[in-house]
Amino acid sequence: MDTGSHLLFGATLAGLAMLQPEVAQNPVLLHAVLAATLIGSHAPDFDTVARVRGYAAYIRVHRGITHSLPAMLLWPLVLSVPIAWGFGVWEHEPLVFAWTMAAVVFHVVLDWLNAYGVQCFRPFSQRWHHLDALPLFEPVLFVTHAAGLIAWLSIGLNPG
């Protein structure tokens, strides 16, 4: 999927988190979860820094190790700890970790669904896996999530 879709899905994932009473009743925790899902939904694509070494280097590493099984555990840990600490919701760190994990896994699964695919089973296999079910940009999903986010933010519709 494209970057905009990943970030949009991260925002709507935070809306889904509001189904949990502790998130819905605590604005600071909601903001921590929102930060965690936004950053987590984009984290596997942090490999874009490889572009400084050229497009060929970027193509070699993109959707590789940053989308792997170890990375799907590492990203939430690396992100949730400073987010929970920074927002002062350390007692809810496991919850922030869980929503960050959901965002990262959702990202990898969405990338797995398109034709480009991912190397999600690294280190066990470096083979590219793709399901060819979605294009890189899926307009129906994008519009649906965008409409939900707009309804949540503008008219106060229950985000869950």
pLDDT tens track for 17-59: 999 999 999 999 999 999 999 999 999 999 988 889 888 888 8
The SS3 call for residue 114 is: strand
Distance CA 108, CA 103 (A): 9
The DSSP secondary-structure symbol of 10 reads H
pLDDT of 56-97, one tens digit each? 888 888 899 999 999 999 999 999 999 999 999 999 999 999
Q: Please count the CA atoms within 13 angstroms of the CA of 73 that sit on its side-chain side.
A: 4
Backbone φ and ψ for 86, nearest 5 degrees, come out as: -65, -35
